[in-house]
Amino acid sequence: MSEPRDEQARQQRYEELLQQVGAALIGAAPQGWRRIDLIAKIAEGVQDFGLTVIMSDMSYAEVDTPPQAGQALLELRKLMYEPDRGAWLSARYVINPPGEFRIFYNYDHDPLWEPPIPPAYLERDLATYPRPAEKVPGWLRRSIEQARTSGRPEAH
């Protein structure tokens, strides 16, 4: 059981990281944005960030995910890891003007990597962020089993 002070520090860091993500995204978006929508897919050793910026005229702006947002999300995932639940597999961070945001975490569903990542990354992720057997989703169990039986070299 963690000390209340540790939990308070963890909660404070969680909030700081969310603010860092938001500030980086707002800083990268052009003037006149209407919605910022970031989808982060992360496994140990690989990450994919998909950023969509919708403008006030409903067009889309081409914007790269700021590195600061990606780094903050990587740290956030580590911070949020819980042994009885595991680590989230993807997250969606949505901002509406002037800076109202919501974040959603996916712990169980296949994030649908495009292109698909080698199963060895998922196996490594589960080893780094273990969860009880009953909390390992079927799709993840099957993917890891495929990696073990295929004889493929491990991802680097």
Query: What CATH number does the domain containing 67 carry?
Result: 3.30.500
Q: pLDDT (tens digit, 9 = 90+) per residue, 56-99?
A: 999 999 999 999 999 999 999 999 999 999 999 999 999 999 98
The rounded distance, in Å, linking the Cα atoms of 138 and 17 is 31
Can you give the pLDDT at residue 156? 47
In a domain, 155, yes or no: no
The rounded distance, in Å, linking the Cα atoms of 50 and 48 is 7
**Boundaries of domain holding 12:** 4-150
Please confirm whether the linkage preceding 98 is cis (ω < 30° from 0): yes
In a domain, 39, yes or no: yes
In a domain, 156, yes or no: no
**How many separate domains does the chain show?**
1
Question: Residue 147 pLDDT > 90, yes or no?
Answer: no
Q: pLDDT (tens digit, 9 = 90+) per residue, 91-136?
A: 999 999 998 999 999 999 999 999 999 999 999 999 999 999 999 9
Question: Residue 49 pLDDT > 70, yes or no?
Answer: yes
The rounded distance, in Å, linking the Cα atoms of 122 and 114 is 14
pTM given for the model: 0.88
